[in-house]
Chains A and B, each alone.
Chain A
Amino acid sequence: MDPILVLEQSLNGLQFGLMLFLLAAGLTLVFGIMDMINLAHGSLYMIGAYLAAAVAMATGSFWLAVAVAMGGTAVIGVVLEVTLLRRLYQRDHLHQVLATFALILMSNEAVRMIWGPTALALDPPPSLAGPVELLPGLYYPAFRLVIIGVGLLVAVLLYFLVSHTRLGMLVRAGASNREMARAMGVRVSLVFTIVFAIGAALCALAGAMLGPLFAVQVGMGESILILAFVVIVIGGIGSIRGALVGALLVGMVDTVGRTFLPMWLRAVLPPTVASNLGPALASVLIYVLMAGVLFWRPQGLFPARG
């Protein structure tokens, strides 16, 4: 096996995993603290990407676009939480799924009305458009390296926020035992609104950073939302550390599986069977991973409760 290819695909997996983490971090806290299934989390990712693309087109500055997208999406997230989602916390999961699914449809339609049905292009900053030679023979896109850097930076910041600040203590307390946290005087709903704002901003960051790699289009939130749910189930609902480990696992397994599984199959199976089976198997690999984790650790890798 070509070591350059292995290294390159590992970097891709790391990069995708870190972006998944940005989405999963908010999702796992929302689910963990309020026991709320928010399918519209992926819509915030889409809205963030569209805001970024629109601002980048208008101003020409990618980083300004990222900042505006994060701020704007955080505001939209807070408005959504205070006006609508807050009413759903006490309802059962079916109501939450129905209501937030309606939000997906509405935000998809709204985005279509504002920006039209065709995908938008979001270009990386020109200075980062080219490749960098990491090792002799290993050229890697500079922008993807920046994505990895941003992902790692956010992971470190979130880790500090959750494990070394009082807000983080209250978030963890609320995630493990909401009733007891309230009985100790924690204004869980205020903590939660803050968490929701941060989660929405991270969605927008992921949307803006992945925009140049994938198309910015209606429906982009749904496919990645499913992956984000896989991540938080593997990592353990409500755990930031679990979300990070789960996201890296899913990112790696998905990326590396799609590249190497077909190659390995070609080595042992007839070419036609291998070329049919390879992509199919690769796309279910993360679900096999999830099933395996749930079989050995039904609570996920780092459960926040009990």
Chain B
Amino acid sequence: MGALLEIGQLTAGYGATQVLFGIDLAVGEREVTTLLGRNGMGKTTTIRTLMGLARATGGTIRFRGERIDNLAPERIARMGLAVVPEGRQIFPNLSVEENLRAFAGNRCAAADPWTLDRVYAFLPRLQERRRNMGNQLSGGEQQMLAIGRALMTNPHLLILDEATEGLAPLVREDIWQCLHTLAAQGQAILVIDKYVTRLIALAHRHTIIERGRVVWSGTSAALDADHGVWHRYLGV
């Protein structure tokens, strides 16, 4: 498995406040990796820095062999990174279909790319709501739209930040099903979430951070075997 994304000794922060103190993280082709940790430990900052939305003050980020740290967000996105951000950030003044069509592209040059029809087949609820505006959707529908919107760019790497947060249990289950389907199709995914048992079933490898540092990383089997890690770093 070649490394798709390699983050090395990444440091970042906001103004004078340093948040990341040297993050190492890698995601391979066709691999699902998680980034775990309690709230406020730097997970979202890691994602924001990766996407070019926050400044990296040190370290390197390589995507498909190229340095992308501190490139403009639109350049990073066009190289094939797509994010399903915390809080979904659906465009409220675009309809469901426009949210999907506006950013469509085949950024990973897939032979069988995601199209509007394929996204509708994968997430049928969106087709029912296609004429609704982004702000007329339920939380679960917004989450599906954020996933569909990211898929429409045909990314090499899909990043999900708290994709199941604030959703009803049944809806959350739908989202997990979606992610399992995508993983089975070979989509490389970096996922942040707090349901460790579900992530162990979904992902191949895990990285846990605490106060901006990596404190544990390993495979699903290793994480499953060491519940001490859960208590120490995840408060589960």
Contacts and interface: CB of A to CB of B under 8 A. Distances in A.
A258 interface: no
B169 to A, nearest CB: 28
Contacts of A181: 91
B92 A169 contact: no
Contacts of B213: none
Contact of A182 (B77, B101, B153): B77
A184 B153 contact: yes
B158 interface: no
A185 B150 CA distance: 10
B160 to A, nearest CB: 13
Given A172-B93, A173-B91, A304-B93, A182 B98 contact: no
Max chain B C-beta neighbours (<10 A), residue from A173, A185, A187: A185
Given A169-B94, A188-B74, A306-B92, A183 B149 contact: no
B221 to A, nearest CB: 34
A181 B74 CA distance: 8
A170 interface: yes
Interface in B192-221: none
A179 interface: yes
A185 B104 CA distance: 10
Interface in B43-63: 51-53
B96 interface: no
Interface residues of A, number: 22
* Interface bin, chain B: 20 to 34
A269 interface: no
A179 B53 contact: yes
Interface stretch (B28-36, B81-89, B225-233): B81-89
B91 A180 contact: yes
Nearest to A302: B93
A185 B153 contact: yes
A169 B93 CA distance: 9
B8 interface: no
B102 A173 contact: yes
A185 B83 CA distance: 11
A97 interface: no
Contacts of B103: 184-186
A229 to B, nearest CB: 21
Contact of A172 (B72, B83, B91, B135): B91
Interface string B102-120: 1101010000000000000
Nearest to B77: A185
Contact of A183 (B51, B92, B94, B107): B51
Given A176-B92, A304-B93, A306-B92, A184 B149 contact: yes
Contacts of B135: 306
B91 A177 contact: yes
B78 interface: yes
Given A185-B105, A187-B74, A169 B98 contact: yes
Contact of A173 (B77, B78, B94, B107): B94
A184 B93 contact: no
B73 interface: yes
Contacts of A87: none
A68 interface: no
| Closest 5 A/B residue pairs (Cβ) | A185-B77, A169-B102, A182-B73, A184-B103, A180-B89
Interface of B: 51-53, 72-74, 77-78, 82-83, 85, 89, 91-94, 98, 101-103, 105, 107, 135, 149, 153
